[in-house]
Structure 1
Amino acid sequence: MVVGRLGLASNGIDRYGVEWAVDRGVNYLYWGSLRWPGFGQAVRHLAQSRREELVIVVQTYARVAALVGVSIERALRQLGIDYCDLVLLGWWNEPPPPGIVDAARRVCEAGKARQLIVSCHQRQTFREYIEDPTYGAIMVRYNAAHPGAESEVFPYLGPHPPANDQPPGRPGVVTYTATRWGALLDPAFTPPGERTPCGTDCYRFALTHPDVDVTLCGAKTHDELRLALDALERGPMSKEELAWMKRVGTVVRTTSTQRSGNPVVHLLDRVTRVQGLKHG
């Protein structure tokens, strides 16, 4: 499975934006909790002739085992495809119960998916996921305002492999919220004397880390998508650029209350805060 470095989420971009991104080398397409019709139309159209190029990810927040397969089947019908490449078990701050995992495995055994991926906001839990061969990949928050994965997640992956050589047992790493829900782009939170990052900077920051395989982009406009795509052309950041991003990120983290516009994520985020599981 060949995966491009930049992924595209279903939460806003239209059909033509998706097709443009795929023509530019983006093939990781994420059917998440917010599902705009244009994104689904693009996947349905592209899959007719380019299915083998695409890595299609379907997320399920199902907390009842019987609903896991149902939610995946519904998503496949919406996208007009017979299978997805990854089933994402969404927002499991603690390992999912066996019933959920078994239900997801049955989806794979039935030929409806190839591998499982899991997302989490409790970074300490990722060590268990990394060591569990159930998961072909993990999805973790990582940006200049929340760089904690550098010390709490990535080290457990082991030595980074040579390019294009993923050793057995080492899961892929997908990161998200590269712009910290837009707060890193807001000059109101930029410290005096520093340049405000643009989208290109935020995606370059995440993609520069050697343990990051894919960074997810939630572009809602063609301009936002263009800035994300520019990150692929500009390549890794220098040490000086990384230091600048972290200086800005530190201030954003301490002064901004901006959170996801996804109502499902917002609700789960509130629950996580109440439980004391939220880490920066």
Structure 2
Amino acid sequence: MKITNLAPVIQTPEFQPQLTAADELALANSRFAQSDLPFYRKLGRTNLTVSCLGLGGGGHISSEDTLYAFDQGINYFFYSSDLHQYLYSSMRPALRQLCGRGSSIREKVVLATVSYMIRTPDTVFTYLFDQFIDLGIDYIDVFFWGWIDEHNHPAFEKCISASDDIRGPSSVTQRQIERVFGVSEKMKKMGVVRYIGASFHDHDLAKQWVNSPLLDVVMVRHNVAHRTAQKKVFPHLDANDPHRPGIVTFKSAGMFGPLWEPPLGLPDNCWQPSVPDLYRYSLSQNSVDVALAGWQTREHVDAAIQAVQKGKLTSEEIDYLNLYGDLHRNRIKPHEIPTERLLVAR
């Protein structure tokens, strides 16, 4: 027998084209109805893909319902270890399961943590140490300096100047954490903190810092009755700018009172927005990526997800909710209400 070919037969795998960022978002959003309010989006200039609704622990939600939220598509979770810690503690076992060392789904979750103890950059290790112990994690996606206002702004300026010592792989803070908790592949790849954020209770300060290269994510309070962010923060951002910071809102459903309850003087048969409608209000604003929620039960999760799939509010609905918020804040008297701006119950 004549051997004519001694070259081995090599099976070449089929070519797998790499997905672009737009393709990845489209694929993620394919589980939800298409609308002008996509459920998943990039968090500003970070490379994090986030759900437009985020879950915090303010409602003392159970771990079982926290896991349920993740199963329904929520992937942004906000955790505090030093303020209202009791309220957040009930979701801790779920976050350990989702984000803890060894989790096979860790990279599908965006874990945001916060410290409200704004002092000096040197103390950040202490705050991170507590969070790594609480949650058994390898890394944090976004670490927030919390509750920035005129009282702690000088300390915040010192802390934020150390961003590059905290975020990303090979940082000073990473080496400290590794010595205590050990090194893992995910920690080496991501760093102990991937991105730095700040939560502002002073919108003038938020405006001052919103375009700082030291901040990757900015969190501001915003709702129909407290709309200062619409004047001082959101107009200074281009929603289509890939270099802008991520924007997260909180207090969507109220600050000093529940906004889902009708204000005094609202005429009968007018639309009374639900809590999910109030999330849609924030998400309908320029450049808002995530509206943070303090759900208590899985039913709250379902209602919010169903609502945002309706898309953004119309300009008429936004105008009405501005009026509704002004009534809550006593900015307008009942006899001054322009009837043409009212919307009937739906």
The normalised TM-score by structure 1 is 0.82
Task: Report if aligned partners of 2:235, 2:286 keep a CA contact under 8 Å in 1.
Answer: no
Aligned partners of 1:90 and 1:34: how far apart in 2? 12
Among candidates 22, 45, 51, match of residue 4 of structure 1: 51
Among candidates 160, 165, 169, match of residue 106 of structure 1: 165
Among candidates 172, 179, 200, match of residue 253 of structure 2: 179
CA displacement at 1:93 relative to structure 2: 1.8
Among candidates 39, 50, 68, match of residue 91 of structure 2: 39
Aligned partners of 1:63 and 1:71: how far apart in 2? 10
Question: Could you say which residue in structure 2 is the equivalent of 1:243?
Answer: 319
Bigger CA radius of gyration: 2
Match status 1:203 vs 2:279: yes
Question: Could you say which residue in structure 2 is the equivalent of 1:160?
Answer: 239
CA displacement at 1:251 relative to structure 2: 1.1
Task: Report if aligned partners of 2:118, 2:146 keep a CA contact under 8 Å in 1.
Answer: no
Describe how 1:1-280 pairs up with structure 2 within 5 A.
1-11=48-58, 12-32=60-80, 33-35=83-85, 36-47=88-99, 48-65=103-120, 66-94=122-150, 95-97=153-155, 98-102=157-161, 105-108=164-167, 109=171, 110=174, 111-157=191-237, 159-161=238-240, 166-168=241-243, 170-181=244-255, 183-187=258-262, 189=264, 191-193=266-268, 194-254=270-330
Paired AA for residue 277 in structure 2: D
CA displacement at 1:152 relative to structure 2: 1.0
CA displacement at 1:57 relative to structure 2: 0.7
Paired AA for residue 121 in structure 1: H
Aligned partners of 2:276 and 2:265: how far apart in 1? 16
Q: Which runs of 5+ in 2 are unaligned?
A: 1-47, 175-190, 332-346
Aligned partners of 1:88 and 1:224: how far apart in 2? 26
Aligned partners of 2:230 and 2:278: how far apart in 1? 16
Aligned partners of 1:211 and 1:63: how far apart in 2? 27
Task: Report if aligned partners of 2:222, 2:282 keep a CA contact under 8 Å in 1.
Answer: yes
The normalised TM-score by structure 2 is 0.67
Give the match's secondary structure for 1:133: coil
Give the match's secondary structure for 1:150: helix
CA displacement at 1:189 relative to structure 2: 4.3
Aligned partners of 1:126 and 1:187: how far apart in 2? 30
1:133-155 Cα distance to aligned partner (Å, 9 max, x none): 00001001111111121111112
CA displacement at 1:123 relative to structure 2: 0.9
CA RMSD of aligned residues (A): 2.0
Task: Report if aligned partners of 1:6, 1:215 keep a CA contact under 8 Å in 2.
Answer: yes
Equivalent residues, number? 249
Paired AA for residue 85 in structure 1: D
Q: Which runs of 5+ in 1 are unaligned?
A: 256-280
Task: Report if aligned partners of 2:53, 2:76 keep a CA contact under 8 Å in 1.
Answer: yes
Aligned partners of 1:221 and 1:23: how far apart in 2? 14
Aligned partners of 1:68 and 1:190: how far apart in 2? 48
